[in-house]
Amino acid sequence: MFEGLFDIKNDRRLSMYLYRMGFGMWLMYLVLGAPALALYKHYRSDCGMLSIMLMVVGFSASMVYEYFHHPQVYEQKKKWLFVSYLFLAAIIYFLEFKGRGITPDLDWTWLLRWLS
């Protein structure tokens, strides 16, 4: 249906648009933290989540272009894409399940005890 609109295999426009929208949502996240906009403060976390999601999806779309045109760059970016997916999944998990008692007790001192 959208084949003629964005050819992500040979065109970078979609990934650039998604990056720009993600950056715009990040700017909205910052603006909504201002005291003058306290009335709209409940939208701040939504803007932050949308910012992260748009940037990760934009990065994923750019990976398709790099796969076909720059294989060395693709191999380097592949690791960062995995890290960004893990980061996004962790944020969504903790925002979704934080108040329900499902999140594990994060006691990081066990690592120090284990290393000593």
Amino acid 105: pLDDT? 60
Measured distance CA(85)–CA(96) in Å, rounded: 16
pLDDT (tens digit per residue) in 65-94? 899 999 998 988 888 888 888 888 888 777
Amino acid 112: pLDDT? 72
Amino acid 84: pLDDT? 84
Amino acid 1: pLDDT? 54
Amino acid 94: pLDDT? 79
Residues of the chain with pLDDT under 50: none
Structure pTM?
Answer: 0.69
Which token pair is 64? 């398709």
Amino acid 51: pLDDT? 93
Amino acid 101: pLDDT? 63
Amino acid 32: pLDDT? 93
Measured distance CA(93)–CA(1) in Å, rounded: 33
Amino acid 86: pLDDT? 87
How many C-beta atoms surround the C-beta of residue 106 within 10 A? Answer: 7
